[in-house]
Structure 1
Amino acid sequence: MTSPGTSAPAPRATVVGEALIDVVHRADGHVEEHPGGSPANVALTLGRLGRPVDLLTWIGTDAHGDAVRSWLAESAVDLAPGSDAAPSTSVATAHLGADGAATYEFDLTWDLAPEAAARPRTLVVHTGSVAAVLDPGAAAVRRVLDDARGTATVTYDPNVRPTLMGSPDDVRDRIEDLVATSDVVKVSDEDLLWLYPGADLDEVASRWQATGPALVVVTLGGDGAFARTRGGRVDVAAPRVTVADTVGAGDSFMGALVHGLWDADLLGDARRPALASVPVDTLTTILDRCVRVAAITVSRAGANPPRLAELD
């Protein structure tokens, strides 16, 4: 309860998913380590854009876990209770090609503590990638989403990792189920073509949107992005930049998407009707900022999304 004369706690975002250490092998032979993980990168982006955000994750109390904690704290991301109960912190090894594109190998386990939950003031809950489909933690993630849905917007990015997820047939049903229970879905063209080889991207986005989400956004790398709503399709182009690498680009886009919907007062259970009928000009403005954020991220090495001041 809020005491007389004090303001209510600010609404928050909760991001549920893996945080880990990326070991990056660059094309020139240079090797470096830094914290990462798709959901963690989304939380980092939200923190840098000034949003109160909790990361509900599964890291250890080892040196790698300390590195993750420090990295998140520098961007004002709070760790949710129970997030440091893992026996050890997971590691992902990324190999970067000459074009900056990354392929991944993982030494990863995923779970959530029994008490894992979003805070009562959570306005939006995001999940995606490995955490949403890898057992034993995937069932706990789904419980957190279901518990939060009564008050919060649910957002999802499949962000597939074939090394861990197996074949498309192994995860397609689970991904489609998560799509259908989400309010907002962001997916890359590469992920859609992995799930549905040879498919028409617009057809898949339209089909996904018809199963439940108010908004399905498909990112197209340097070609920008498009969104499908019940009102039709919205396209935006991406700024032209020199690409350092693509690590974290989609995650920074996702964080910017949540941030933009927040700015437009389209988050939370009470705003679902407004989200479902988002005007084209509002959505275009949001997506334009998303591609700008992603462009800044790919212009510098690693998952290093911009801070809010860099966009003004």
Structure 2
Amino acid sequence: MGYAVVMGEALVDLLETEREGELIYRQAIGGAPLNVSVGATRLGGDVRYVGALSNDILGDRLATFLRAAGVGIGGVKRVGVPTTLAVTTFEGAEPTFTFYGEPPSYALLTPGDLDTAEIAGADVLYTGSICLLREPFRDAARAAWQVPGPLRVFDPNIRPTLLPDAAAVTRNRELVEEFFATADLVKLSSADAVVLYDGAGPAAAAEHIRGLGAKAVVVTCGAQGAYVAAPDGTAMLPAPKVDAIDATGAGDSVMGALIRRLLSGGFPAGLAGWQDCTRFALAVAGLVCERNGGATAMPTGDELTARWGALI
């Protein structure tokens, strides 16, 4: 089994909660790409994280967490700005994020910071999420995307609080479609599809993205499951029934699980293979939703088996 390179943001989530009648914020390691790297690693994958971390105490905690999780951090650049914070509020189990920190600590990776030989040798390259909204990271992601060799997987991970008007949505759509066009796999949420494509449902969004050039598309639909569009057909898969307490990181766990399957089995030949991969990923996400969310919620293979039976 080869390895994956995961590029993108790492930050600290401040999760709103209540304790003894008082509203407080619980600190948690976060950032969608960091969650993806930890999720795939805990499932047995070999993952190298590439991104910028602050040289402050929170950046140290992020680096220590990644190292302890088994994620390779040789591609990490340490930078002299404070760690970005994401204040996270909830409606039920669903999170909303507001970001603090200028310039964002996660956006300071440059094309010159990349180890192109490591990227070329990878089986899978992931990028996406909010880091693409800022330079110089955007140029770094574009440069990595052009390196031949790995399967290219992408998640737009839309955050409406960072898109204040229609013009910003349009710019972001044009940006992510640049990556969609040459992606082997695009994973997005039904909420992402609504923002990007003016209320489009999963099927319409997936058809459009495949039409741009993406080989396969998985649209997560929360408790309803996921819609899968492969070269030879489509399917809607149900999610396992869980008692969700926090959906933070659930979508990232789906991507981490899909990357893990790509590492072990390669690119699925058709819809049946994608359905198998996506059922596995939905089981991972279900377990994540039963825990306090974020990177610490990402399960191991043994935890999955204990919860759902033999899945891998």
TM over 0.5: yes
Q: Which amino acid aligns with 1:128?
A: G
Match of 2:113? Answer: 115
Q: Which amino acid aligns with 2:121?
A: R
Q: Could you tell me how far 1:137 is from its partner in structure 2? A: 1.4
Contact 1:59 1:90 in 2 (8 A): no
Q: Of 146, 149, 153, which residue of structure 2 is paired with 1:151?
A: 149
- 2:262, 2:79 → 1: CA distance? 32
Q: Which amino acid aligns with 1:104?
A: F
- 1:15, 1:198 → 2: CA distance? 29
1:63 aligns with 2:60: no
Match of 1:4? Answer: none
Q: After the TM superposition, which residues 146-225 of structure 1 pair with which residues of structure 2 at under 5 Å, given as runs?
A: 146-147=146-147, 150-166=148-164, 167-225=168-226
Q: Could you tell me how far 1:115 is from its partner in structure 2? A: 2.1
Name structure 1 gaps, 5 residues minimum: 1-9, 267-274
1:129 aligns with 2:123: no
Match of 1:306? Answer: 299
- 1:143, 1:87 → 2: CA distance? 24
Contact 1:58 1:86 in 2 (8 A): no
Contact 2:97 2:161 in 1 (8 A): yes
What's the secondary structure of 2:4's corresponding residue?
A: strand
Q: Which amino acid aligns with 1:309?
A: D
- 1:90, 1:215 → 2: CA distance? 32
Q: Could you tell me how far 1:133 is from its partner in structure 2? A: 2.9
Contact 2:3 2:124 in 1 (8 A): yes
Contact 2:85 2:100 in 1 (8 A): yes
1:37 aligns with 2:28: no
Q: Could you tell me how far 1:82 is from its partner in structure 2? A: 4.3
- 2:12, 2:201 → 1: CA distance? 35
Name structure 2 gaps, 5 residues minimum: 306-312
Structure (1/2) with the larger strand percentage: 2
What's the secondary structure of 2:252's corresponding residue?
A: helix
- 2:46, 2:204 → 1: CA distance? 36
- 2:250, 2:80 → 1: CA distance? 27
Q: Could you tell me how far 1:41 is from its partner in structure 2? A: 0.3
Structure (1/2) with the larger helix percentage: 2
Report Cα offsets for 1:253-276 as digits up to 9, x if no partner: 00001112222222xxxxxxxx4x
The verdict on how the C-alpha distance between 1:48 and 1:86 changes in structure 2, with shifts beyond 3 A counting, is farther
The two structures have a TM-score, normalised by structure 1, of 0.88
Match of 2:17? Answer: 26
The two structures have a TM-score, normalised by structure 2, of 0.88
CA RMSD in angstroms, aligned pairs only: 1.6
1:229 aligns with 2:230: yes
Q: Could you tell me how far 1:77 is from its partner in structure 2? A: 0.6
- Percent identity over the alignment is 29
Moved more, 153-162 or 23-32: 23-32
Contact 2:193 2:199 in 1 (8 A): no
Contact 1:44 1:77 in 2 (8 A): yes
Q: Of 290, 294, 297, which residue of structure 1 is paired with 2:285?
A: 294
Q: Could you tell me how far 1:220 is from its partner in structure 2? A: 0.5
Contact 1:20 1:92 in 2 (8 A): yes
Moved more, 32-41 or 229-238: 229-238
Q: Which runs of 4+ in 1 moved over 4 A?
A: none
Report Cα offsets for 1:128-165 as digits up to 9, x if no partner: 11122322311111111112xx1101100000112224
Contact 2:2 2:263 in 1 (8 A): no
What's the secondary structure of 2:188's corresponding residue?
A: strand
Count of matched residue pairs: 290
